[in-house]
Amino acid sequence: MFDKLKEQPADSLLALIKAFHADPRQDKVDLGVGVYRDEQGRTPVMRAVKLAEKHLLETQDSKRYLGPEGDLTFVNLLKPIIFGAGRDLLDQIVGIQTPGGSGALRLGAELVAAANPNARVWLGTPSWPNHAPIFRSARVAVADYRFVDLEMQKIDFARVVEALSSATAGDVVLLHGCCHNPTGIDFTAVQWKQIAALLVERKLVPFIDLAYQGLGDGLEQDAEPARLILDAVDEAMVAYSCDKNFGLYRERVGALYLVSRNSRELQIADTNMASLARVNWSMPPDHGAAIVRAILESAELTEIWKTELQEMCARVNGNRAALAAAHPDLAFIALQRGLFSNLAISKETVAALRLKHGIYMAVTGRMNLAGMQPADAGAIVKALHAEGSLNAPAA
């Protein structure tokens, strides 16, 4: 049987991690891997998480099965953080715990395939490399359109309007809620309003991927675009990840939420989510969601978590400011949000930056701004200049 299989390419980022660790240069800079890094280059367990784990160790008295929907207290405690406290919308939302944001996207994709096999998902590119494969493997056709001009570091909004105008009623539109991966370029408030109007006019279903809430401008600000869209449309899906904003990556913590104005349809859709979860993973892993629940159930731990998240956010934006200040042609980096920016450079330049200057980034030119220190900005600019990707830095 296995002789029929074709070899699949290895993850290029994993090879990059290995190469970085093997590099003896003291001044090397790792802008490659997509996780938060602190001043020491570590991806630490957050203090709130450690305290919640301690609490769980002392109080958890059973590991019995919870069911395909996972920990619903966790799912419900997140709702006001994502959708806004005290809003009517909260009654029009159901959710289920998933293995990370990836599990939420997969489950959402399968729900689309089950509900409307003819639906396509409209995906602006570049995007997170796993988006299109997740939808395709769930048998949902992907209609992709290039919507960011990396040379200009700008959204080509006319392309977005054109794409959504050619979509068919019932098609799904994937939107990064904040902190776009890989570009860091989010829609402006005006553009979000235009998108909301188009979704309503064309009867399209938004599928919002919210994987970095709190790492752009703050928890509330980063949720505003999603809330604006959800207020406008009749139906929507939200894939949520706690893996970045709680630093829980390998614990696989996420949730899929469905929004509908029709309570009967919402309830039916909810049963479909549960049965799809059942055949995929039966039940999601508990530990990470239990940590998030323990944090959100405690005012004290919630405060600690929010403070830590703000510090992480401030560090990333500080690095953005340092790089932007180091060269006028990099000023755009300060205007972008989240962990990533994507330079318009060739893979040969990316290789030269790594080999000659010890500056590591993804082969696409995507940089993780959390991987640097403000003091690295000068070296990064010098290297980009040496490789012909920037004019001479000002004296």
Ligand X SMILES: Cc1ncc(COP(=O)(O)O)c(C=O)c1O
Structure tokens at 294: 């323990």
Residue 171 interacts with ligand X (CB under 6 A): yes or no: no
Q: Please spell the DSSP secondary structure of 284-301, one letter per residue.
A: --SHHHHHHHHHHH-HHH
Cβ proximity to ligand X, 241 vs 389, nearer residue: 241
Among 92, 97, 102, 336, binds ligand X (CB under 6 A): 102
- Residue 97 found at the interface with ligand X (CB under 6 A): no
State which of positions 122-161 bind ligand X (CB under 6 A): 128
Minimum distance from residue 338 beta carbon to ligand X (Å): 9
**Residue 264 CB burial class (10 angstroms; 0-12, 13-18, ≥19):** exposed
Tell me the site size for ligand X, rule CB under 6 A.
13
Q: Which is nearer to ligand X, 240 or 360 (CB)?
A: 240
Question: CB of 212 within 8 A of CB of 245?
Answer: yes
x-marked contacts with ligand X along 316-355 as a string, rule CB under 6 A: ----------------------------------------
Q: What DSSP string runs through 246-269?
A: T--GGG-EEEEEEEES-HHHHHHH
Whole-angstrom distance, CA of residue 337 vs CA of residue 50: 27
Which has the closest alpha carbon to 215: 16, 35, 2? 35
Q: Is 223 exposed, middle or buried (0-12, 13-18, 19+ CB in 10 A)?
A: buried
Does 211 help bind ligand X (rule: CB under 6 A)? Answer: yes
- Where in 22-61 is the site for ligand X (CB under 6 A)? 34
Q: Catalytic pick from 128, 171, 222, 305? A: 128
Nearer to ligand X, 69 or 387 (CB): 69
Pick the catalytic residue from 71, 144, 171, 209.
209
Alpha helices by DSSP H, listed for the chain, are 12-22, 47-59, 72-83, 100-115, 131-137, 157-166, 189-202, 219-232, 263-280, 287-297, 299-326, 332-335, 347-357, 377-386
Per-position x/- string for 252-291, each x denoting binding to ligand X as judged by CB under 6 A, each - no binding? --x-------------------------------------
- The only residue of 243, 251, 308, 387 in contact with ligand X, by rule CB under 6 A: 243
174 is a contact residue toward ligand X (CB under 6 A): no
Q: In the complex with ligand X, which residue's Cβ is closer, 293 or 357?
A: 293
Q: In 3D, which of 104, 124, 120 has the Cα closest to residue 112? A: 120
128 catalytic per annotation: yes
Pairing of strands 205-210, 235-241: parallel
Nearer to ligand X, 145 or 249 (CB): 249
Judged by CB under 6 A, the residue of 92, 97, 153, 181 near ligand X is: 181
> Distance (Å, rounded) from C-alpha 344 to C-alpha 350?
10
Can residue 100 be called a binding residue for ligand X (CB under 6 A)?
Answer: yes
Structure tokens at 339: 């962990």
**122 is known as an active-site residue:** no
306 is catalytic: no
Sign of CA dihedral 52, 57, 62, 64: positive
Please identify the residue of the shown chain whose CB is closest to the bound ligand X. Answer: 100
State the residues that interact with ligand X by CB under 6 A.
34, 100-102, 128, 176, 181, 209, 211, 241, 243, 249, 254
By annotation, the residues acting in catalysis are 128, 209, 244
